[in-house]
């Protein structure tokens, strides 16, 4: 089961927020990009920015801490298509999304707020994202939440109920390492070392993977209620 959440956050809780201080009439919309680096997120998003003269926009963006490099790809009137490379110190909702495996489907920013359509692979991932941003003092407004159990057809005509590749790999590693044996043959710290992540990060990944596996194999749409988003 996957969940899509439509949320809004204040302008300063996402990259490019400082742009609206200089150009309050600007509108920023992200262009969908298919990453070509396995399961890694692309670090060079494409964005359309409107309502700003290109000659003033580019110098301002190059001074923004969020951006490492910026390249103009096209200009149509005052609509500018840019390729950005993020800096290393993104904060706000970005790190919580990375930690919980959330995906940005659409993003639109104005001087008023940022509006996102986010994708999560389980209720656990969504709840952890909400908990993290709340603990970080970031106010999030949930506009819409929907779930889907629509299954993808595999090449042989069977329904594909598989979980995400990284979740599958983590569960299999834990199983083959004896993490689920009684008594345990492998401790959490050993697994985390093999995955080159912290104990806390691996623990969260295992919980998300287990929840996703249960939702996709044991539960149907009628038996899964909406997650708490409080």
Partnered with residue 2 across adjacent β-strands are 148
Q: How far is Cα 86 from Cα 43, in angstroms, rounded to an integer?
A: 6
Would you state the structure tokens that stand for residue 77, as one six-digit string?
């009137």
Mean pLDDT of the chain: 79
The pLDDT of residue 111 is 94
Q: How far is Cα 27 from Cα 224, in angstroms, rounded to an integer?
A: 38
Q: What is the mean pLDDT of residues 52-79?
A: 85
Query: What would the pLDDT profile of 131-145 be if each residue is shown by its tens digit?
Result: 889 898 998 998 988
The pLDDT of residue 89 is 67
Domain ranges of the chain: 2-148, 161-220
Tell me, yes or no, if the pTM score tops 0.85: no
Query: What would the pLDDT profile of 168-226 be if each residue is shown by its tens digit?
Result: 788 888 988 999 888 888 999 999 888 888 888 888 888 888 877 776 666 644 433 44
Beta strands in 87-128, from DSSP E residues, in sequence order: 103-109, 114-120
| Torsions phi, psi for 207 (to 5 deg) | -65, -45
Q: What is the mean pLDDT of residues 84-107?
A: 81
Cβ–Cβ under 8 Å, residues 160 and 152: yes
Question: Is residue 15 scored above 90 in pLDDT?
Answer: no
The pLDDT of residue 162 is 54
The pLDDT of residue 6 is 92
Cβ–Cβ under 8 Å, residues 14 and 94: yes
Task: Please measure the distance between the N-terminal and C-terminal CA atoms of the chain and give it in whole angstroms.
Answer: 21
Question: Is residue 29 scored above 90 in pLDDT?
Answer: yes
């Amino acid at each position: 089961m996957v969940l899509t959440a439509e949320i809004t956050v204040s302008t300063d809780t996402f990259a490019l927020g400082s742009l609206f201080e200089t150009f309050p009439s600007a509108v920023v919309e992200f262009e969908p990009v298919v990453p070509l680096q396995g399961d890694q997120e692309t670090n060079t998003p494409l964005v359309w920015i409107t309502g700003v003269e290109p000659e003033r926009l580019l110098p301002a963006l190059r001074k923004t801490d969020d951006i490492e490099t910026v390249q103009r790809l096209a200009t149509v009137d005052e609509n500018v298509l840019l390729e950005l490379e993020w800096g290393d110190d993104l904060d706000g909702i970005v790190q919580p999304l990375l930690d919980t495996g959330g995906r940005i489907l659409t993003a639109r920013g104005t001087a008023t707020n940022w509006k996102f359509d986010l994708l999560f692979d389980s209720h656990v991932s969504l709840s952890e994202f909400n908990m993290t941003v709340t603990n970080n003092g970031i106010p999030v407004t949930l506009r819409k939440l929907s779930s889907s159990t629509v299954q993808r057809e595999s090449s042989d005509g069977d329904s594909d109920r598989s979980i995400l590749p990284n979740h599958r790999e983590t569960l299999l590693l834990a199983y083959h390492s004896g993490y689920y044996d009684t008594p345990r043959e492998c401790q959490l710290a050993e697994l985390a070392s093999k995955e080159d992540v912290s104990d806390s990060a691996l623990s969260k990944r295992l919980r998300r993977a287990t929840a996703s596996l249960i939702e996709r194999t044991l539960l149907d749409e009628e038996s899964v209620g909406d997650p708490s988003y409080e």
